Structure 1
């Protein structure tokens, strides 16, 4: 066995050496060190003369060095030896680089003629033309092959080439026609279309795509077009219009119901609460599936709790209790039980009731993920009660039970947050350093934000005096004691004039509290102070976006919202609010109505 392994390794070594050499040559080429790359490509070509890719790279090096005669010599030798017509394209292009259009045309024509002799050559020849951005010639190649062999279908390739020529509407029509005729390839077409939809200035493309889809849906009553329109509206994050399409689909195909369920989940996750409520109510009206009913009722409760005021709490409590009685305390209603515990502890300020609810849940036969959910919520309530060490013990159990899992990473983040609230900033930083590279983007973002907050304010103030005050106020927010938190944040701004890095984030917190209280002018005042005085700070994009959202959705003043969204778009491309700002800016500009 060991002998076979040694033989295998010895056979593998030359392959690895070639791969390393090729990588080195490619690196030299990319850095513009063409002479160095050329030496390696020549060596590789001597060892593997049948591999024409090395010859092509040698030609590319000579062309970059403007040694066209040497490039021509290699190409002619390889054409003679391999009879590969794609190299004829390369030879023509070598003449084009020398502005000899007559000779270039001659070899391009020769390459095209070879397709008539053997239509299968089209694949390599057309691709060679495409790589040289010779789009018209690539189109000719596909047309010749299709004429010679009617079994060939190049609709997809031709459509993309039309797009490169700037014929956007023709490309869209061709791609959609191809998708309709080859429905197994719909994901491929949608992936291609989404690339154009997300380019820098996609408004014209999106308008054309929307128009073409609507025309097709009107001309052809096939459910296919409703499905494609729904996909389009989801890409635009216009879930209400997507829901309209999905309802039309459901009327004709009841089996599509779970697509509506998925859309509802997406609307909830994206914070599109009004549309989410519509979808959830539709689901409840049209399903007898108990687990789906429980999930939908839980989602609806969560939305209502988020929007509720204290005067609404008794009615919500009664509603939760009635639903728990209706569906029972089982693993299937666990999500509702967790929501009940959270509501009892954080909103009704009755931690004992929340803990009692969770202890009943722990008596159920749960899998390890369900058990982790219950323990996580239990830890959250212990933290609420300022039982920091006990909370950290529970979080640590989850972290150890589900290592290298998103739930385990969430527990790690909560350990760091607990240490931060407790004032143990050094330990929190150690946890956060690891979590910044978490595979979960949401956890990584939260970890990075907290890391920067602690790190920046430790560098500027080694005593961490301001940070300790800020963490205490932040903990009041966690406890849902907004008025106490507001007073502590305001006091921090008034008393701490030395720690510059705490000032902008404190204003951001105050603005958010006022925004949640519905005092929008006060929120805007604090956001504006960040925009005016801390434009170089890391919270500027949030101040711009939150201000835009207030003007747009709360004060119905789109003219003030539009330039704020625009600033996020053009000055903060890496912001997590970039996509949402782009969507709202396009709507306000009127792109979605054309």
Structure 2
């Protein structure tokens, strides 16, 4: 009995020791991590001798092929070919006919200018690969890592032949992208889509990657042509039509996209969601006409459409956008009021229509000059049941703006502060922080405003961070050298009047700066604000004159590239002078190569300089054969 008790005690002690944390293994893990970091550092610094020793140690512990390859790289860089060959042979004895080792051996021989012997090893790799998808993929990846693209292609083609259920369409397309064999890449992606419509998202993502790698900007045209040919050959493949719609959207050709989307919906009865998505994207990219057509199509389908109410709401928001885009003398507030009333009769005042209600209140306050009625609409909706806290704060956000309009600035500050306290960790909180800082700027509290803006430059919202940075730089650059802030005070008041849509008062403030502070650093900003007001009022000739003053006298200042780009847009879109616009876009590329507008300017320049000829999709849409 005593012996039994001792044995039980011993077993308990052993079990207890096993359950205790193993400090030595933890230290070993830490040592391995440190060794890896140090090895990588040596490798980056081209200290290959030290890196090789460490990678060899790491490989022997981990067994990872990746670290063995890095070890070989180090030996090759030091011309230690014999040592590298011995390492490969040793691993072959351990692991048998491993095809990936033959790839590395072939690479080693190529580095020694022995192409025939290298090809023999590469062929051994192809002969040794097991008949399994994973093994073929690993072998192809090994070839790709050594830039042996043709051999990676051979791997997948061999796998397609040996594994009848594994066509490797996606993998081959990726190899053809590396080879810049775009025709074969298109074939593989389109064949994949034909066999599996669920691959649509994958194909779209891959094509976006290919487009980004396209140097001469010709890949889209080639892909579109291939896709149209396949649609003609295989009209039964619905995925092809969906891909064409997606491609048109990427190119912002919303009219063609909508035409295809409606035709597809009529054909299949399953395209309503895509049409809603298309309308939303078009509305956000100046495609208001196409967005309205999309919503009208859904509305015409009647209440049986699951998007009937959403289409009504979306249409009204687009109509409001159109109203805002018009010059003041062309706006018809009473007509828009009727459209709002008709829409609310259909969609009602509900939590789901909160964004539309916010737009309606803004319209009442800022464009119908009925701020008290707008406040009543907002207050009534905030007290309505079912409204979330976030929705209520979004309504209060608009309420704060209306208080600024009414010149009740301290009430606006109080409202903004309440929203900020309730939304410390979301985008709405940062948005309202910016509004509160901007209001301090309007009121002439420049130092306090800049301090708040500097904090907002770290906002997770890129848009808010950029706005905060822009206003902060503007304040600092125009107050740092001046002993008086009188001009800035006037400019801030002009911005306040502009916020209230009181352009005549804003213009008077800007005139005062131009007259009384003619040598102030704000002069180009005065011209820029006047140009923006001219555009808003459809007085394009006036806007052009101010923008040309900036491009002539202040081209190297902060607003130089902004003014030049807007000037080019005016000549292209409003003044119908495409040649003048093209020259200005070209000027943007040479004078402001670091500008954020460069890519768009390059794209517009190419478009304006393109030869006039019928494109492939026009021929397709007109029912003609695509060559």
Shared fold, TM over 0.5? yes
Q: Structure 2 CA distance, aligned partners of 1:68 and 1:412?
A: 63
The one of the two structures with greater contact order (alpha-carbon pairs below 8 A, sep at least 6) is: 2
Equivalent residue number for residue 249 of structure 1? 264
Q: Secondary structure at the match of 1:151?
A: coil
Conserved 8 A contact 1:490-1:510? no
1 or 2, which has the higher helix percentage? 1
* Aligned positions of 1:49-448 closer than 5 A: 50-83=63-96, 84-115=98-129, 121-199=135-213, 201-222=215-236, 223-288=238-303, 291-308=309-326, 309-310=328-329, 312-324=332-344, 327-365=347-385, 366-448=387-469
In the alignment, structure 1 segments of 5+ residues that lack a partner are none
TM-superposition CA deviations, 1:262-319 (whole Å, max 9, x none): 1111111222222222223323323425631541243133124214435612332344
Equivalent residue number for residue 615 of structure 2? 593
Number of positions where the alignment pairs a residue of Structure 1 with one of Structure 2: 591
Conserved 8 A contact 2:572-2:581? yes
Quickly say closer, same or farther: Cα 1:78–1:579, change in 2 above 3 A.
same
Q: Structure 1 CA distance, aligned partners of 2:211 and 2:259?
A: 21
Q: Secondary structure at the match of 2:435?
A: helix
Q: Structure 2 CA distance, aligned partners of 1:416 and 1:593?
A: 50
Q: Structure 2 CA distance, aligned partners of 1:66 and 1:572?
A: 46
The one of 529, 537, 546 equivalent to 2:557 is 537
Deviates more, 1:530-539 or 1:100-109: 530-539
Q: Say if 2:528 is the partner of 1:508.
A: yes
Q: Say if 2:46 is the partner of 1:32.
A: yes
Q: Structure 2 CA distance, aligned partners of 1:255 and 1:188?
A: 21
- CA shift for structure 1 position 329: 3.6
Q: Secondary structure at the match of 1:203?
A: coil
Quickly say closer, same or farther: Cα 1:559–1:56, change in 2 above 3 A.
same
Quickly say closer, same or farther: Cα 1:52–1:257, change in 2 above 3 A.
closer
Q: Structure 2 CA distance, aligned partners of 1:542 and 1:359?
A: 40
Conserved 8 A contact 1:544-1:564? yes
- CA shift for structure 1 position 572: 5.5
Quickly say closer, same or farther: Cα 1:295–1:98, change in 2 above 3 A.
same
- CA shift for structure 1 position 16: 4.1
- CA shift for structure 1 position 257: 0.8
Deviates more, 1:536-545 or 1:505-514: 536-545
4+ residue runs of structure 1 moved beyond 6 angstroms? Answer: 2-6, 116-119
Conserved 8 A contact 2:200-2:243? no
Equivalent residue number for residue 493 of structure 1? 514
Conserved 8 A contact 1:89-1:107? yes
Deviates more, 1:271-280 or 1:409-418: 271-280
Q: Secondary structure at the match of 1:458?
A: coil
Q: Structure 1 CA distance, aligned partners of 2:262 and 2:434?
A: 40
Q: Secondary structure at the match of 1:221?
A: coil
Quickly say closer, same or farther: Cα 1:148–1:285, change in 2 above 3 A.
closer
- CA shift for structure 1 position 372: 1.1
Q: Structure 2 CA distance, aligned partners of 1:117 and 1:127?
A: 16
- CA shift for structure 1 position 433: 2.3
Equivalent residue number for residue 477 of structure 2? 456
Quickly say closer, same or farther: Cα 1:524–1:200, change in 2 above 3 A.
farther
Conserved 8 A contact 1:409-1:435? yes
In the alignment, structure 2 segments of 5+ residues that lack a partner are 1-15, 617-627
Q: Structure 1 CA distance, aligned partners of 2:398 and 2:598?
A: 32
- Return the TM-score normalized by structure 1: 0.91
RMSD: 2.8
- Return the TM-score normalized by structure 2: 0.87
Which of these two proteins has the greater Rg computed from alpha carbons? Answer: 2
- CA shift for structure 1 position 233: 0.9
- CA shift for structure 1 position 559: 1.4
Conserved 8 A contact 1:569-1:578? yes
Q: Structure 2 CA distance, aligned partners of 1:70 and 1:343?
A: 78
- CA shift for structure 1 position 206: 0.8
Deviates more, 1:353-362 or 1:316-325: 316-325
- CA shift for structure 1 position 460: 3.5
Deviates more, 1:61-70 or 1:572-581: 572-581
TM-superposition CA deviations, 1:522-556 (whole Å, max 9, x none): 21222223323333333333223212221111112
TM-superposition CA deviations, 1:19-69 (whole Å, max 9, x none): 343233223323434344334324423544x33332221211222233333
Q: Structure 2 CA distance, aligned partners of 1:6 and 1:531?
A: 74
